[in-house]
Copies of this chain bind each other. A is one copy, B any other.
Amino acid sequence: MLRLTKRSEYGLMALAFLAAQEPGVYTSVREIVSRLGTPRRLLAEVLKALSQAKVVEATRGPGGGYRMRTPAEELSLSRVIAILEGPVNVARCASEDGCDFQEICTIQEGIAQVADRIKRVLDGYTLADIVRAGSGAAPVLDQLSDPASHQDRSVA
């Protein structure tokens, strides 16, 4: 359906929250959930995955919890998605499970291009960008990836 999963969204919300905390301090799942209102256990699963991927780090016991490990400016959206729901493959032939039509498929190249462009968008957005957008500082990016611009080039 070409939609982000809740795992990704919960993960991003939690990361945005963690990134806004005082650097170095640990925040427990309990507290994060009390702010976000997400299902407790599910967010725990998500944070565990992010921890294993070294995006955040954890400490157990009283006063324990999670804190950022990768700077928000260096954490791309595609990275988060890849951790939480697997690698982004708009075209199934690019994924490991492949596609039965690869031999005869005439749209393969075209779809691959589209997939690549979408991948670039996801690669280009960092957690910092996501957070910043919510703070009113709406960046101007409308002249980028103009809907029609690539046609002008390719037809020539």
Residues of A within 8 A of B (CB): 1-5, 9, 12-13, 16-17, 35-38, 77, 81, 85-86, 88-92, 95, 99-101, 104-114, 117-118, 120-126, 129-134, 137-141, 144-151, 153-154
Count this chain's copies in the assembly.
2
Contact of A139 among B77, B107, B144, B154 (CB under 8 A): B154
Q: Please give me the 3 A-B residue pairs with the lowest Cβ-Cβ distance, nearest first.
A: A139-B154, A110-B130, A124-B147
Q: Which residues of B contact A99 (CB under 8 A)?
A: 9
Contacts A114-B125, A141-B150, A146-B144 given; does A106 touch B13 at CB 8 Å: yes
Shortest distance in angstroms between A19's beta carbon and chain B's nearest beta carbon?
Answer: 10
